[in-house]
């Protein structure tokens, strides 16, 4: 067993530096901690990878799925592994398939959906919750069986080591070219995001192509990506994250175009299979032009005027009838799409903000935390490996 364990200090204690570090630690401690015989790591089945396969008592196959953060879909993931393993029946000489396959989920906390999914499931699941505690003697990894309360504990041999900046390669020329057109504050944030991505997992790679830099586990047809940097025709920096569809609630993942103010606030502007999303760019331009037209008309106190009703009162626009009708059509659409958690652009929000009454119509904020979106993209990427 290696004496080094990659850990990070957080505001709430300690956590593993990555899911790969957690897997290394559990694999090294399978036998002394859980009484299991290690069989295989990252076993490929139906295009997915089981974290750990092990042997239990009487040669029973045990499948362990590890998460460094709470995952509400871990039961479904283990179910897919079970289905593939039962079809293929690997390691037939070592495993006795007359015994039921034991499915083990290990993560720092469990979502209530995990318990609901297991409650109505016919397969054998075991939930093990882990925690890193600190004592005078050092750090201990505690594992609690949520069914019977059984507690397992093992000492962690080495404490925190921050990722070494020297381990991160210099940005590829394609990225350096993109950064040259960004202001210093934006450059700093882009490089911070890059560092976070590259230090997330040992399998993360940086692939630079013609004007695009992708982050994932390779560049083949079966590779999984989590982020991409590129630019539009005017040289404006663009970022894409692979995120769940349908307001981040779907199990399906799409390539999302992200707007950000580079101060922690972000929007999902839309999902694009390839390219930069010309429809999104076109929509942003149309809305920006409409907003500017209305703003100029009000600033010059145009003689043209038309009215529309909002919240029971008449609102005057210093524009002609067609422009007012377009404004009403677009603002109604934007307010509806925000309420339905659909992708939205910053230009569309700016159009809504032109009148305070429209802002009051919107009951939920469309803005997201950029850090939360990045964490979600990384977590979903890891789950797809």
Express each pLDDT in 73-83 by its tens digit. Answer: 999 999 999 99
For residues 339 and 242, state if they share a domain.
yes
pLDDT at 303 over 60: no
- Structural domain of 223: 163-385
Residue 280 structure tokens? 């999104």
Residue at 355 is within a domain: yes
Last residue of a domain, one of 122, 140, 162: 162
Do 97 and 187 sit in the same domain of this protein? no
Statement: residue 262 has pLDDT above 80: yes
* pLDDT tops 80 at residue 158: no
Please, which contacts does 259-263 make with residues 24 or more away whose CB atoms are closer than 8 Å?
Answer: 259/345, 259/346, 260/370, 262/185, 262/186, 262/189
What is the percent of the chain where pLDDT is above 90? Answer: 54
pTM of the predicted structure, to 2 decimals: 0.57
Query: Has residue 207 been placed in a domain?
Result: yes
CA atoms within 13 A on the CB side of 176: 5
Band of the pLDDT at 164, cuts 50, 70, 90? low
State the pLDDT confidence band at 358, using cuts at 50, 70 and 90.
very low
pLDDT band at 137 (very low <50, low <70, confident <90, very high): confident
Split at pLDDT 50, 70, 90, the class of 200 is confident
Span 270-274, average pLDDT: 96
CA distance linking residue 102 with residue 59, whole number of Å: 11
**3-state class of 148 per DSSP?**
coil
Residue 147 lies in a domain: yes
Least confident span in 145-149, 192-196, 324-328, 352-356? 352-356
Task: Indicate if 151 and 173 belong to the same structural domain.
Answer: no
- Domain for residue 1, yes or no? no
By percentage, how much of the chain surpasses pLDDT 70? 87
Domain with residue 125: its CATH number is 3.40.1350.10
In angstroms, rounded to a whole number, what is the distance separating the alpha carbons of residues 192 and 181? 17
pLDDT(118) > 70: yes
Q: What is the pLDDT of residues 27-40, one digit of tens each?
A: 999 998 899 999 99
pLDDT at residue number 2: 43
Mean pLDDT score of the chain, rounded to an integer?
Answer: 86
pLDDT, average across residues 126-143 = 89
230 — pLDDT class (breaks 50, 70, 90):
very high
Q: Of the candidates 111, 42, 52, 41, which has an alpha carbon nearest to the alpha carbon of residue 76?
A: 111
pLDDT value at position 112?
A: 92
Neighbours of 81 (CB within 10 A): 22
To 5 degrees, how large is the angle CA 187–CA 265–CA 207?
45
- Answer yes or no: is 383 within a domain: yes
N-to-C CA span, the chain: 25
Give the residue from 162, 178, 205 where a domain finishes: 162
**pLDDT at 314 > cutoff 80:** no
140 and 84 in a single domain? The answer is yes
Identify the residue with better confidence: 377 or 355: 377
Question: Who has greater pLDDT, 185 or 46?
Answer: 185
181 part of a folded domain: yes
183 and 152 in a common domain: no
Which of 246, 245, 169 minimizes the C-alpha distance to 208? 169
Does the structure show a pLDDT above 60 at 160?
A: no
Per-residue pLDDT at 227 exceeds 80: yes
* The last residue of a domain, from among 128, 162, 196: 162
How far CA 241 is from CA of 229, 344, 350, 366, 377, in Å, comes to 9, 15, 23, 17, 6
Beta strands in the chain (DSSP E): 7-10, 13-16, 37-45, 48-55, 61-66, 102-107, 125-135, 138-145, 151-156, 205-208, 213-216, 225-231, 237-244, 253-260, 265-271, 306-310, 313-317, 368-369
pLDDT of residue 225: 97
299 or 281, which is more confident? 281
Tally of domains in the chain? 2
Mean pLDDT of 310-338: 75
Q: Return the higher-pLDDT residue of 306 and 299.
A: 299
Is the predicted pLDDT of residue 94 greater than 70, yes or no?
Answer: yes
For residue 121, the number of C-alpha atoms closer than 13 Å in the C-beta half-sphere is 18
228 shares its domain with 244: yes
CB half-sphere exposure, 285, CA atoms < 13 A: 6
Residue 322 has pLDDT above 90, yes or no: no
Instruction: State the residue for tokens 């230090």.
Output: 199
Say if residue 154's pLDDT is above 80: yes
Confidence band, pLDDT 50/70/90 cuts, at residue 326: confident
Contact 45, 83 (CB under 8 A): no
Q: Is residue 367 part of a domain?
A: yes
User: Is 374 found in the same domain as 270?
Assistant: yes
Q: What is the mean pLDDT of residues 289-315?
A: 66
Are 178 and 273 found together in one domain? yes
Tell whether the torsion through CA atoms of 300, 303, 309 and 315 is positive or negative. positive
Residue 2, in any domain of the structure: no
One domain, residues 175 and 143: no
DSSP state of 92: T
Same domain membership, residue 384 and residue 365: yes
Task: State residue 348's pLDDT score.
Answer: 93
Mean pLDDT over residues 69-96, rounded?
93
**Residue 36 and residue 11 in one domain:** yes
Q: Identify which of 274, 279, 280 has the alpha carbon closest to the alpha carbon of residue 258.
A: 280
Q: Identify whether residues 158 and 169 lie together within a single domain.
A: no
């Amino acid at each position: 067993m290696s004496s080094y364990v990659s850990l990070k200090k957080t505001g709430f204690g300690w956590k593993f530096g990555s899911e790969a570090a957690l897997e290394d630690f559990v694999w090294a401690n399978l036998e002394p901690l859980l009484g299991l015989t290690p069989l295989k790591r990252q076993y490929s089945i139906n295009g997915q990878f089981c974290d750990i396969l092990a042997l239990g008592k009487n040669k029973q196959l045990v499948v362990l799925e590890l998460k460094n953060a709470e995952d509400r879909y871990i039961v479904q993931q283990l179910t897919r592994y079970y289905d593939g393993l039962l079809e293929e029946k690997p390691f037939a000489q070592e495993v006795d398939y007359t015994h039921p396959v034991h499915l083990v989920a290990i993560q720092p906390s469990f979502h209530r959906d995990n318990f609901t999914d297991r409650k109505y499931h016919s397969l054998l699941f075991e939930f093990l919750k882990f925690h890193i505690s600190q004592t005078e003697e050092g750090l201990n990894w505690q594992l609690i069986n949520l069914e019977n309360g059984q507690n397992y504990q093992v000492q962690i041999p080495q404490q925190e080591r921050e990722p070494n900046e020297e381990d991160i390669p210099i940005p590829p020329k394609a990225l350096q070219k993109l950064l040259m057109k960004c202001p210093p504050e934006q450059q700093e944030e882009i490089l911070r995001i890059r560092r976070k991505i590259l230090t997330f997992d040992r399998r993360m790679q940086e692939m630079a192509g013609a004007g695009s830099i992708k982050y994932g586990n390779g560049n083949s047809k079966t590779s999984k990506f989590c982020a991409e940097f590129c630019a539009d025709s005017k040289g404006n920096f663009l970022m894409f994250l692979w995120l769940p569809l349908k307001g981040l609630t779907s199990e399906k993942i799409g390539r999302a175009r992200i707007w950000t103010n580079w101060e922690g606030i972000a929007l999902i502007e839309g999902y694009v299979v390839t390219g930069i999303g010309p429809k999104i760019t076109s929509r942003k331009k149309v809305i920006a032009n409409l907003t500017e037209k209305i703003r100029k008309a009000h600033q010059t106190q145009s003689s043209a005027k038309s009215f529309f009703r909002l919240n029971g009162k008449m609102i005057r626009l210093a524009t002609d009838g067609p422009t007012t009708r377009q404004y009403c059509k677009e603002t109604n659409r934007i307010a509806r799409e925000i309420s339905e958690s659909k992708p939205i652009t910053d230009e569309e929000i700016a159009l809504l903000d032109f009148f305070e009454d429209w802002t009051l119509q919107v009951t939920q904020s469309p803005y997201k935390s950029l850090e939360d979106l990045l964490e979600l993209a990384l977590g979903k990427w890891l789950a797809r490996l």
